[in-house]
Amino acid sequence: MTPQSRLRLGAALTAAAAALLVAGQLPALAVDDPPAPVTGNATHFDGLGSPYGGCGLPQSELDSPDFVALNVYDLPGDYTSYPVRPLPPDQANRIGLWNNGLNCGRFVRVTIGDRCTGTNDGAPGQPFCRNGSWVADGYNGATLTMVVADSCGDGNAWCRDDRNHLDLSTASLNRFARGGVPVGDLYPSHWNNRQVSWSFVPAPDYSGDLRIAFLRGAQRYWPAIAVSHLPNGIHGVEYLADGVWRAATMNSDMGQSYVLGATAAGGVDFQIRVRDVTGALVGGGRVYRFALPASCGGTCSAAYTPVSYTTSDGPTAPPTGSPSPTASPSPTASPGPTASPGPSGAGCAAAWTVTGAWAGGFQAEVTVRNTGTSAATGWRSEVAFAGGQRLVNAWNAGATQSGARVTATNASWNGALPAGGTTSWGLVVSGDNQPPTELSCTLR
């Protein structure tokens, strides 16, 4: 691949344009890690686009000067442009190891493999290393640990035909080392888009804590942040709003950028917690508290505005079961959608909020409130679809569907509800976005 600087066109959106993007946000879909290690072709590129790379960070803010891009798609033989990202649920079989952004911020251990003696240009529809063969040489076995910072969605054989392809930063190629000594001259004379083997690894020699910054255009009704210096990647950000933890929306498929909600509607104070690639809460449930900086003057104009924060440790909760986003406030006069109440059982009220919609599906959140005078040890919520909709997945509850009815029961960590207390569970649904014909909850 010809060296280049990748450009994320969506990364420099104004806040108003970004609102449209977030309003139509699709849930991120996770694909499994490949068995370790895997072997693929390697190419190289000069640097990230401006102001952000594919993960939502400027190149200067990456956790390593050595970075890679992963394939957006797993589409052998298909070189068509697919402009909608992240890929929606009905295209789950097309998702590459970019994983709709969910592998952003992870580290990979890369080992140099064989060199091609023939033509190895990634031409669409052509075999790799044609009119030649793969041979080993003195560079085989050199290694380097690199961070996932960008995506490869180009219509060539590298980014479509080879699921395990890695696009490496050009400046990193001569930093690969054998026995602790950099090879020095791998590129350009001994390169020719070699094979590499690689696997995901935790952040090497990790110390310290997360870095948090607001992105360009961030303001109280579109508080877009970037999260970096991750111990083991990032599969979700949750924010505290009105006393309830809610899943933040990933900013397109920029997997280290999320759009939050404030602790109070329309406010500028935020509390978040972060989940790593295993679904575990970072720091055992550590809560990060920060505010929109006064230096932003209402709207952040800099590409990257870091913030200081305070922390408090919280109990570790099991994973929500889905990193899928809920809608966060868009930059309009309203801080976000309001829930409309549904039918309630004795001592319990349920409310339904559609938090995202797209062609062929939608995402919703059900809030369960204890309206009684005594504490509950568990709850059950039922939703009756208007017709034909199917449950795709759910989180914060165990949910099953029978006919048009979905029944959800509390998870082990959110069943206890004091009098007046609330919790919520979420679901992704395939089919038309229609309000349910019945919505109820009961306590026990």
Residue 327 falls inside a structural domain:
no
Greater model confidence, 95 or 5: 95
pLDDT band at 30 (very low <50, low <70, confident <90, very high): low
Residue 354 falls inside a structural domain:
yes
Cα–Cα dist 123/261, whole Å: 45
| The token pair that represents 248 in the structure block | 């933040």
Residues 75, 182, single domain; the answer is yes
Find the mean pLDDT for residues 333-352. Answer: 53
pLDDT of residue 346: 57
pLDDT for 71-115, tens place per residue? 999 999 999 988 888 988 888 899 999 999 999 999 999 999 999
pLDDT of residue 36: 85
167, 201, 235 - which closes a domain = 201
The residue to which tokens 């790799």 are assigned: 128
Cα–Cα dist 402/404, whole Å: 6
Find the mean pLDDT for residues 297-310. Answer: 95
**Which range among 9-23, 165-179, 211-225 shows the weakest confidence by mean pLDDT?**
9-23
Residues 108, 194, single domain; the answer is yes
Domain that holds residue 345: 340-443
pLDDT of residue 118: 96
Residue 328 falls inside a structural domain:
no
Q: What percent of the chain has pLDDT over 90?
A: 63
153, 168, 201 - which closes a domain = 201
Residues 168, 217, single domain; the answer is no
Cα–Cα dist 260/329, whole Å: 7
Q: What percent of the chain has pLDDT over 70?
A: 85
Residues 246, 98, single domain; the answer is no
pLDDT of residue 80: 92
Residue 3 falls inside a structural domain:
no
Greater model confidence, 176 or 401: 176
pLDDT reading at 334 higher than 70: no
Residues 148, 255, single domain; the answer is no
Find the mean pLDDT for residues 245-250. Answer: 92
Greater model confidence, 78 or 361: 78
User: What's the whole-number average pLDDT of the chain?
Assistant: 85
163, 178, 201 - which closes a domain = 201
pLDDT reading at 21 higher than 60: no
Greater model confidence, 62 or 344: 62
Number of domains in the chain: 3
Residues 417, 275, single domain; the answer is no
Residues 186, 137, single domain; the answer is yes
Cite the beta strand spans of 229-333 per DSSP E. 236-241, 244-247, 249-251, 254-259, 269-275, 287-291, 304-306, 310-312
Greater model confidence, 90 or 206: 206
Residue 280 falls inside a structural domain:
yes
Find the mean pLDDT for residues 31-57. Answer: 94
Whether the Cβ atoms of residue 123 and residue 41 lie closer than 8 Å to each other: no
Greater model confidence, 359 or 277: 277
Greater model confidence, 319 or 356: 356
H/E element, 21: helix 15-23
Q: What is the dihedral of CA 263, 264, 269, 274, to 10 degrees?
A: 20
Can you give the pTM of this predicted structure? 0.69
**Which range among 92-96, 145-149, 312-316, 349-353 shows the weakest confidence by mean pLDDT?**
312-316
Residue 323 falls inside a structural domain:
no
pLDDT reading at 20 higher than 80: no
pLDDT of residue 82: 84
Residues 417, 295, single domain; the answer is no
CATH number of the domain encompassing residue 160:
2.40.40.10
pLDDT reading at 15 higher than 60: no
Q: What 3-state class would DSSP assign to 390?
A: strand
Taking CA 203 as the corner, what is the angle to CA 202 and CA 209, rounded to the nearest 5 degrees?
Answer: 120
Residues 176, 251, single domain; the answer is no
Find the mean pLDDT for residues 419-425. Answer: 87
CATH number of the domain encompassing residue 395:
2.60.40.290
Residues 175, 224, single domain; the answer is no
| The token pair that represents 406 in the structure block | 């979905």
Q: Whose CA is closest to 285, among 241, 336, 320, 333?
A: 320
pLDDT reading at 321 higher than 60: no
Residue 321 falls inside a structural domain:
no
Cα–Cα dist 278/38, whole Å: 20
Residue 1 falls inside a structural domain:
no
Q: Whose CA is closest to 174, among 165, 162, 186, 166?
A: 186
Residues 360, 384, single domain; the answer is yes
pLDDT reading at 248 higher than 60: yes
Residues 14, 138, single domain; the answer is yes
Sign of CA dihedral 248, 152, 43, 171: negative
Find the mean pLDDT for residues 399-414. Answer: 89
pLDDT band at 333 (very low <50, low <70, confident <90, very high): very low
